[in-house]
Each structure stands twice: as structure tokens, then as C-alpha cells.
Amino acid sequence: MGKLVVITAPSGAGKTTIARHLLRQFPELYFSVSATTRAPRPHEQHGRDYFFISEKEFREKIAAGDFLEWEEVYPGVLYGSLRNEARSGWKQGKTILFDIDVRGARRLKEQFGDHALTVFVRPPSWQALEQRLLQRGTETIQQQQLRLERARNELQYEPFFDRVLVNDALPVALQQATDWVSDFLRPHHQP
């Protein structure tokens, strides 16, 4: 079993920005592309950002045991980490980087223990999170409200993760994440 770096946060806290930064900094990381049943956003590409699949196909993969973790984030909207994505990275001798929801991250930590570094990214304040979600402009007001409601619940999971990264000043947050991952990837760091 290889190592995992799991970046998690409520929607809008900045986990994807931090994950992309880490991929640029560490060639030994392999990004695990998640599967989802939601429709792609205009800038997203199948196989790069997500594997966009039907709910029927997703549920078939659940039944087949194809996911390391999965979650029905909203009714009919499922996300999950494919087992074969991790295997593919480990075969290349890499550490798998996950950019996933809070509950999924907790499941991976439970499964992989010290082989996983889990980083919970949180906004500097509730107001900052609300503003970030509103500025996205990719969702309806109803979808934004659902995300905010979910985010309020997800913030309670903070104590379950190895590290908590307050994403206030982005350069500082990126450096902190880089330092933690660098330490975790060092050969002396044995799970």
C-alpha cells in the first residue's frame, strides 16, 4: 500500500487551488480524478477534472466495489474516488493526491491510517466562505444555499484531520501545505 495526501474542505474554501499547487510542486504526486454524477461546469473536462458518469453507472460501480470511498453529496449527485485511480498511481511509485469532500476524506483516513496525510482547508471566516461561493457564479441561488448549508455541517469535521489549514492569505496557505506534504513525502516519514 502506498501513501495518500488528502485535501478536503467545505465547498469554496480553496481545496482545489491548493491541490493544483501541490501537483505543480511535487512530481511524485498522482492526482486521483474523482467520478461524479453532476453535470460538468463550462471549464471542466471529462477525465481531467472528473469522470462524469450517469447515476446508474455510478451505482453499478458502488455495487462492484470500484470505489475507495463515495458519497451522495446532494440527492442524486454522487462523488467517489475510484480504486483503479489509486492503483494506477501506486503502480508508478507515486503518492496519490485526493481533492475530495469531508466525509470521503474521513473514510480514507479511517482506511489508510498513517499512510494518509489529511489536510482540512478552512476559510478564515464564515463570511469569506459565503463571499467565495457567491463570486463563483456557477450555481443557482438554490444550489448556493445547499452548499452553504452543507459547508456549515462540514466545518464541524475539522478535528478529525491531521492538519488544519486556514486559507486566508493564499501564498501563506500554499507554503504551509507545501511544507506539510514535503515532510510527509520524506523517506524518513514512515507510516
Q: How far apart are CA 191 and CA 175, in angstroms?
A: 23
Grid-cell match 492526482, residue found: 31
Mean pLDDT of 157-175: 94
Is residue 150 within 8 Å of 141, Cβ to Cβ?
no
Q: What share of the chain is helix, strand, coil (3-state, %, to 5)?
A: 45, 25, 30
The Cα 126–Cα 46 span in angstroms is 32
Q: Check: pTM over 0.85? Answer yes or no.
A: yes
**Model confidence pLDDT, tens digit, residues 104-115:** 999 999 999 999
Quick check: 190 pLDDT over 60? no
pLDDT of residue 100: 94
Confidence of residue 70 (pLDDT cuts 50, 70, 90): very high
Domains of the chain, residue spans: 4-185
Alpha-carbon distance of 153 to 71, in angstroms, equals 15
The architecture (CATH level 2) of 4-185 comes to: 3-Layer(aba) Sandwich (3.40)
Of all residues in the chain, the percent with pLDDT exceeding 70 is 95
Buried b (16+ CB within 10 A) or exposed e, 154-182: bbebeeebebebebeeeeebbebbbebbe
Q: How far is CA 164 from CA 6, 36, 104, 107, 146, in A?
A: 12, 26, 16, 17, 24
Mean pLDDT of the chain: 91
Residue 191's pLDDT band, with cuts at 50, 70 and 90, is: low
